Chains A and B, each alone.
Chain A
Amino acid sequence: MDDTAERSPFAEGVISVLPILLGVVPFGLVFGATALELDFTALETQGSSLFIFAGASQLAAFDLMADDAPLIVTVLTVWVINLRMLMYSASLAPHLGHLPLRQRLGAAYLLTDQAYAVVIGEYQGGRPARDRLPLYLGAALALWVSWQMSTIVGYLAGSALPADVPLDFAVPLVFLALLMPTLRSRPNIVAAVTAAAVTVAVREIGAGEVAILVGALSGIALGTLSAGTPLKSDS
């Protein structure tokens, strides 16, 4: 631990996120290549990486748009997929509350599973307040740059990407890797199993467009019920 004392927290953030980028880069390549294959323009593809900046939801959205899904379905699917960031934001809030609002709003744009995963452990381990934003920015910016670059490269390389290496397997794997640590309690496991089952079932019966939406919401609902928490407020 002491040999990192010389390193700035920003550099530390970058270094901490590097191993995770191993999963993010193939993901970005797959997204870019998929967008090309589905006949989206380079501008639309990069635009989504800039404006939405959330890989899983971008993939889902592009699949839906290529299928001519109604706009409302696509938008809601993106929001539900990204709803988990609400929890990350709630979890980070006490640690970043000391920052001026403008900095928090800027930091929010960069929030991802990976940046969250890197910093939350450090914050809960007790980093001084002055370290927290640079640590976050190091991880989050490294990720942002990788995502933008792998999107472009994936789009331009397109069909040149090796076909026998199952790069697209990176997508479920990255999320599987992030899912495991969340399964610490029975309600979480109930939520995950329900979401998985419902998503697969909905997709199986041919309503794939709304599968993730319905699956995730079902998972949250059943998980909340199984925690013995009434859905309606008593007061």
Chain B
Amino acid sequence: MSDAAVIWATIIISGVGTYAIRVGFLPAAHRFSTVPPRVRAALGLIPSAALAALVAPGLLQPTGSIDLWNERLLAGIVAGAVGWWTKNVVATLVAGFAVLILLQQFF
């Protein structure tokens, strides 16, 4: 476990950098049209990559190592399909939890 000084340094440095990212292009709002299209294209991929990197371990490695066809993956596949078709966050959450709880109850 890191000591308190490292923890606070981490929190503050992470926080400052995260705030800088959030500020991002907001100050240069009127100049945004001058961002080169390639950079804009790369920017557009960040949410897909980051979100996928966050989701994958939770579905494929819920206990730490790869566990194909575990209940969370199945629940995640259903939730993903629901999310894809309905584009609705609540529907996705409900579907995912419902399937997981059902699988845990009956298997």
Chain A interface residues toward B at CB < 8 A: 19-20, 22-23, 38-41, 44, 47-48, 51-54, 56-57, 61, 65-66, 68-69, 71, 74-75, 78-90, 92-94, 96-97, 101, 104-105, 107-109, 111, 113, 117, 165-166, 169-183, 187-189, 191-200, 203-204, 211-212, 215-220, 223-224, 227, 229-230, 233
Q: Interface on chain B toward A: helix, strand, loop, or mixed SS?
A: helix
Chain B interface residues toward A at CB < 8 A: 1-2, 4, 6-15, 17-19, 21-30, 32, 35-36, 38, 40-61, 65-66, 72, 75-76, 79-80, 83-84, 87, 89-90, 92-93, 96-97, 100-101, 104
A176 to B51, alpha carbons, bound, how many Å? 7
User: Which residue in A69, A174, A224 is a CB contact (below 8 Å) of B45?
Assistant: A224
Q: Known interface pairs A79-B21, A96-B26. Does A52 touch B56 (Cβ–Cβ under 8 Å)?
A: no
User: Which residue in A69, A82, A104 is a CB contact (below 8 Å) of B18?
Assistant: A82
Chain B contacts for A111, CB-based, 8 A: 22
User: Which residue in A38, A47, A165 is a CB contact (below 8 Å) of B8?
Assistant: A47
Chain A contacts for B52, CB-based, 8 A: 179, 191-193, 195-196, 199, 215, 219
> In whole Å, how far is B103's beta carbon from the nearest beta carbon of chain A?
10
A136 to B15, alpha carbons, bound, how many Å? 21
Number of CB contacts from chain A to chain B under 8 A? 297
A200 to B93, alpha carbons, bound, how many Å? 23
Q: Interface on chain A toward B: helix, strand, loop, or mixed SS?
A: helix
B41 adjacent to A173 (CB under 8 Å): no
B32 adjacent to A94 (CB under 8 Å): yes
Chain A contacts for B24, CB-based, 8 A: 85-86, 88-90, 93, 108
Among residues of B, the one whose C-beta sits closest to the C-beta of A112 is B22
17 pairs across A/B with beta carbons < 8 Å? A47-B11, A52-B14, A66-B2, A71-B6, A78-B17, A85-B22, A88-B22, A93-B25, A94-B29, A96-B26, A108-B24, A177-B93, A187-B45, A193-B52, A204-B61, A212-B53, A229-B42
> In whole Å, how far is B94's beta carbon from the nearest beta carbon of chain A?
8
- What 10 A-B pairs have minimum CB-CB distances, sorted nearest first? A172-B58, A219-B49, A89-B24, A97-B29, A51-B15, A196-B56, A192-B52, A177-B92, A180-B83, A179-B51
